[in-house]
Structure formats: structure tokens, C-alpha cells
Amino acid sequence: MIRKAQIADVKEIQKLLISYANRGDMLSRSLSELYESLRDFYIEVEDGELIGTAALHIVWDDLAEVRSVAVAESAGRKGVGSRLVQACIDDARQLGLKRVFCLTYKPEFFGKHGFRLVDKAELPHKVWGDCIKCVKFPDCDENAMILDL
């Protein structure tokens, strides 16, 4: 079941994100950041266990980012990530956004959802605020992708 995240979910979301951050696949998020951006997050729960998360973070009046897409190892290859990304895309459409972007190491996955590769320079400077926290900054090796809604 996919639903919006709630306060009680934050520590489990952080645990899942940390497992990906420790592998260098995404940025870690502090509890403070997660509480502040809680309304951005969707989660999928199965048998009372959080098995996946994704967030839609609004950047500007026409642009949002799909980020923090993470699925528990035990739930991999079952469509959890796809359902969560689709929930974010549906939310973006409902909000009237024109474009959604992501920074990813999995371009094939996001390509299946209609995202296309773009040069990072096409993204507004505002989107790079989180990148300063990354150990790979400024030599980012993620792929920038955009979905036109």
C-alpha cells in the first residue's frame, strides 16, 4: 500500500536511505531534514513494514525533483520503486507542475517512466543546493534526467 509518510515513519525512512547512502548511491538525510520535508515523502508498506520510499520536492513554480527513491532489498524487483515514482509524478501533475527532474545512477529505470537524459547545465542552479553536502561534489557522476509533464 502506498501512502503519504507520517511522523511515525521518519526513523524507518532514514534507515532505508542510510543503507543506500552508505553505498554511495544517494545522499544521506538527517532526521531534521526528513521531518522538515516529511510532506514530500511517499512510502510503501507491506505487512506493516516500510519497504520503499520516494519524495517529490518542489523546487520552483514549474519544477520539482523526484528524490530519495529507495526500496528495501527484500522487496527489490517487485515494482515498488516504479509505483512510488509514479505516485510522485501523479502528485506533480495534480499540483500543476510542468517538469520533474531527477539525479540518478539508474537512468534506465527513470527512462521507463518517461524521463530523458539532459545536460546538468540545463537545470537551474537552485537544484544544486544539496550537492554541496555530497562527497563527490563538484565531480558529480549522476545522470540528470527530466520528464516534461
Domains, the chain, in order of start with CATH, read 2-148 (3.40.630.30)
- pLDDT attached to residue 24: 83
Strand 49-60 with 63-71, pairing: antiparallel
Q: What is the value of pTM for the model shown?
A: 0.90
Beta strands 2-4 and 41-46, pairing class:
antiparallel
Q: How confident is the model at residue 11 (pLDDT cuts 50, 70, 90)?
A: very high
β-pairing, 63-71 vs 2-4, is unpaired
Condensed to tens digits (0 to 9), the pLDDT of residues 97-132 reads 999 999 999 999 999 999 999 988 888 755 655 655
Instruction: Give me the pLDDT at residue 49, please.
Output: 95
Find, among 24, 26, 30, 27, the residue nearest to 11 by Cα: 30
Q: pLDDT for 69-89, tens place per residue?
A: 999 999 988 999 999 999 999
The per-residue pLDDT for 79 is 96
